[in-house]
A = this chain, B = another copy of it.
Amino acid sequence: MRNVVVTNPPRADLAAVDKLAEFGVATVHEAMGRTGYLGPGLRPTHLGSRIGGTAVTAVCWPGDNLMIHAAVEQCRPGDVLVVTTTSPGTDGAFGELLATSLRARGVRGLVTSGGVRDVAELHEMGFPVWSAAVSAQGTVKATAGAVNVPVTVGGQLIRPGDAVLADDDGVVVVPRQDVDSALAGSQARLDKEAAARDAFRKGELGLDRYGLRAKLAELGVEYVTWQEYSG
Contacts and interface: CB of A to CB of B under 8 A. Distances in A.
Given A39-B87, A119-B168, A216-B144, A95 B210 contact: no
Contact of A34 (B86, B206, B207): B86
Contacts of A123: 47, 168
A156 B84 CA distance: 12
A35 B40 CA distance: 25
Given A33-B1, A120-B50, A63 B91 contact: no
Number of copies of this chain that the complex holds: 6
Interface in A78-132: 84, 86-92, 95-98, 100-101, 104-105, 115, 117-120, 123
Contact of A72 (B92, B105, B205, B216): B205
B73 A169 contact: no
Contacts of A88: 39, 89-90
25 contacts: A1-B33, A4-B222, A4-B229, A26-B117, A26-B136, A30-B138, A34-B137, A39-B87, A46-B47, A61-B63, A64-B143, A66-B216, A70-B216, A73-B205, A73-B207, A87-B90, A88-B89, A119-B168, A120-B167, A123-B168, A141-B212, A144-B219, A144-B220, A152-B152, A157-B157
Given A7-B224, A96-B197, A104-B200, 6 more contacts: A8-B225, A39-B90, A40-B135, A69-B207, A97-B206, A101-B200
